[in-house]
C-alpha cells in the first residue's frame, strides 16, 4: 500500500526527521490561504501516489496569494499517471545548496534492510542506479539492531557532510530506519534530503510504501489508505479474497495460484491472444468467490472469452467445477467459456462439468489455443 506524501511527512517527523511545516488544501482558495501562513515563496505539490509528478507539472513555486491560487488551480486540474489530483500540499520553499538522496528498502539477497544514500539527490534514483551505480552508497541494516551511530556517521562523511551536518544526518538516517520498522514499510524515502543555505539538513519530500502483509497489525496505517489507489473492481476483489489486476486484452482469466495465473497469461499471449486480467482465486475457491470472479471478469467490456484454468492441490477441483456451473447460471451474459481442470478430484470435476454441458480441456496449452480462437 502506498501512503501519500503528507501522511508520510507526519510519520517521518514523528521519528525526528526535520520536515518543514506544510498544509494540505483541496481547492485553489484554500491553497492560497494556506500559503499566506508561510513566508514567500511557497511550493505547491500534487498529492498523488503515482511517481514522476515533477515532470508531469505537479510541482510549482508561487510568490503571492494570486500565484498560489493559479498554481493550485493548474495542479488540481491535472491527471498524473491515470490519477486525478485531488489535493495539494503547500510548504515554504527551501533555498537549496545541495540535494541528497536517502532511502530504505528490503534487500532480498542479503535478507536485511538496506539504507541507500547518494550525493545525487533530487533525480530519479532508478536512473542513477542504471547510469552511475557507484554514486549510490549502501549499508545493510539488521532491523533488530538498528543503524549504529558509526555506520550512519561514516555514510554522512562519505556524502561530503561536515561537523553539525553529520550529527543531523545520523539522526535522520536512524529516524528513517526506525520509521521503516515501526510502520512495517517496504520503502521509505527522502528525495531530496537537502542542505539549505544555512547549511542545515531538511527533508523536503517523503515517500512511504507499506508491506501489505503487515497491514493487519498496522491499523493506524490502514486508516491512511487512499480508496482511489485501487479501482472499484480491485477493491471488491480484495474484499472477496481474490487477487485481480485489470489488463488491456480480450481474454478473461480465472486461475488458482499466482505463478500459474501469470503462466496462463503468458501462454495466452504465446498462442496469439491478449489477457484481459490477472486473477488468482487462491486456495479453497467456493461458489461465492467464483461468482465474484466471473462478475469482475465480465464487467470488463473488452472481454470476449473466458479461460478458467485450475490445477487443484489445496483446492478441490469438483468444488471449483460446482462454482463455475452455479456462477454461469447466475450470469445473464453469454460469453465463450473454456474450462481446464486438473489435480485433486479431477474426475469428479469433469463429470460435473460434462453433466452441465460444459466441455473441459485437460491441458493448459490446448485450453489456451481454444480460448484464443474463441475470442477472435
Partner 1 sequence: MSILLDATTRLVVQGMTGSQGSFHTRLMREAGTRVVAGVTPGRAGASVAGLEDVPVFNTVAEATQETGANAACIFVPAAFAADAILEGVAAGLDVIVCLTEGIPVLDMLRVMPRVRASGSHLIGPNCPGITTPADGVKVGVMPWAVHSPGHAGVVSRSGTLTYEVVQHLTDLGAGQTTTVGIGGDPIIGTRFIDVLSMFEADPETHGVVLLGEIGGDDEERAATYIQERMTKPVTSFIAGKTAPPERRMGHAGAIVSGTSGSATAKESALRAAGVLVGETPEHAARLLVDRLR
Binding residues (CB under 8 A) for partner 1: these are 106, 108-109, 111-113, 126, 129-130, 142-144, 181, 184, 186, 211-214, 216-217, 243, 245, 247, 255-263, 265-270, 275, 278, 280, 283, 311-314, 342-344, 363-365
Please list, residue by residue across 72-86, b when 16 or more beta carbons sit within 10 angstroms of its beta carbon and e when fewer do.
Answer: bebbbeeebeebebe
Helix (H) or strand (E) holding 244: strand 243-246
> Measured between alpha carbons, how far is residue 106 from residues 43, 151, 211, 221 in Å?
31, 18, 10, 19
Distance CA 95, CA 113 (A): 32
Whichever of 31 and 312 has its CB closer to partner 1, that residue is 312
- Least Å from the CB of residue 349 to partner 1: 12
Distance CA 309, CA 324 (A): 11
Strands (E), 108-242: 112-118, 136-141, 185-196, 201-203, 207-210
- Least Å from the CB of residue 305 to partner 1: 16
Q: How buried is 198 (Cβ within 10 angstroms: 0-12 exposed, 13-18 middle, 19+ buried)?
A: exposed
C-alpha cell at 190: 527522502
Q: Any idea which residues carry the catalytic annotation? A: 101, 189
- Least Å from the CB of residue 234 to partner 1: 10
> Measured between alpha carbons, how far is residue 311 from residues 151, 177, 203, 254, 362 in Å?
50, 42, 50, 11, 10
- Least Å from the CB of residue 220 to partner 1: 15
C-alpha cell at 120: 545525487
Helix (H) or strand (E) holding 291: helix 287-299
Whichever of 164 and 347 has its CB closer to partner 1, that residue is 347
Listed residue (370, 20, 53, 325) closest to 193, CA to CA: 20
Give the chain's radius of gyration (CA, Å).
Answer: 26
- Least Å from the CB of residue 85 to partner 1: 19
Please list, residue by residue across 254-290, b when 16 or more beta carbons sit within 10 angstroms of its beta carbon and e when fewer do.
Answer: bbbbeebbebbbebbeebebebbbbbbbbeebbbebb
- Least Å from the CB of residue 197 to partner 1: 33
Whichever of 25 and 339 has its CB closer to partner 1, that residue is 339
The residues, ordered by sequence, that sit 6+ positions from 225 with a Cβ below 8 Å of its Cβ are 1
Distance CA 16, CA 2 (A): 21
Whichever of 128 and 161 has its CB closer to partner 1, that residue is 128
Whichever of 168 and 309 has its CB closer to partner 1, that residue is 309
Whichever of 8 and 285 has its CB closer to partner 1, that residue is 285
Whichever of 136 and 260 has its CB closer to partner 1, that residue is 260
- Least Å from the CB of residue 35 to partner 1: 33
Amino acid at each position: 500500500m502506498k501512503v501519500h506524501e503528507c501522511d508520510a511527512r507526519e510519520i517521518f517527523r514523528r521519528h525526528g526527521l526535520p520536515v518543514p511545516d506544510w498544509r494540505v488544501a483541496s481547492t485553489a482558495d484554500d491553497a492560497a490561504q494556506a500559503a499566506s501562513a508561510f513566508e514567500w515563496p511557497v511550493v505547491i505539490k500534487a498529492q498523488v501516489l503515482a511517481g514522476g509528478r515533477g515532470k508531469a507539472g505537479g510541482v510549482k513555486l508561487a510568490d503571492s496569494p494570486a500565484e498560489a491560487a493559479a498554481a493550485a488551480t493548474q495542479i488540481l486540474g491535472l491527471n498524473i499517471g491515470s490519477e486525478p489530483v485531488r489535493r495539494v500540499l503547500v510548504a515554504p520553499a527551501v533555498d537549496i545548496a545541495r540535494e541528497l538522496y536517502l532511502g530504505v528498502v528490503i534487500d532480498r539477497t542479503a535478507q536485511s534492510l538496506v539504507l541507500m544514500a547518494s550525493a545525487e539527490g533530487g533525480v530519479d534514483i532508478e536512473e542513477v542506479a542504471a547510469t552511475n551505480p557507484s554514486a549510490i552508497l549502501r549499508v545493510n541494516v539488521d532491523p533488530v539492531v538498528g543503524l549504529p551511530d558509526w555506520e550512519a556517521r561514516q555514510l554522512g562523511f562519505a556524502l561530503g557532510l561536515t561537523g553539525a551536518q553529520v550529527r543531523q544526518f545520523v539522526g535522520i538516517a536512524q529516524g528513517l530506519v526506525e520509521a521503516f520498522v515501526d510502520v512495517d514499510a517496504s520503502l521509505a524515502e527522502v528525495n531530496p534530503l537537502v542542505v539549505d543555505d544555512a547549511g542545515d539538513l531538511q527533508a523536503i519530500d517523503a515517500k512511504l510504501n507499506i508491506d501489505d502483509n503487515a497491514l493487519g497489525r498496522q491499523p493506524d496505517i490502514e486508516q491512511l489508505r487512499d480508496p482511489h489507489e485501487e479501482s472499484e473492481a480491485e477493491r471488491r476483489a480484495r474484499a472477496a479474497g481474490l487477487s485481480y489486476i485489470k489488463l488491456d486484452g480480450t481474454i478473461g482469466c480465472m486461475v488458482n495460484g499466482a505463478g500459474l495465473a501469470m503462466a496462463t497469461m503468458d501462454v495466452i499471449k504465446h498462442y496469439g491472444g491478449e489477457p484481459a486480467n490477472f486473477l488468482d482465486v487462491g486456495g479453497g475457491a467456493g461458489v461465492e468467490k467464483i461468482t465474484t470472479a466471473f462478475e469482475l471478469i465480465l464487467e470488463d467490456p473488452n472481454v470476449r472469452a473466458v479461460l478458467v484454468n485450475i490445477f487443484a492441490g489445496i483446492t478441490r477441483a469438483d468444488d471449483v467445477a460446482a462454482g463455475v456451473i452455479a456462477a454461469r447460471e447466475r450470469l445473464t451474459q453469454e460469453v465463450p467459456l473454456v474450462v481446464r481442470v486438473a489435480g485433486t478430484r479431477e474426475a469428479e470435476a469433469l463429470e460435473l462439468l460434462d453433466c452441465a454441458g460444459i466441455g473441459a480441456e485437460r491441458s493448459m496449452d490446448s485450453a489456451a489455443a481454444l480460448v484464443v480462437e474463441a475470442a477472435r
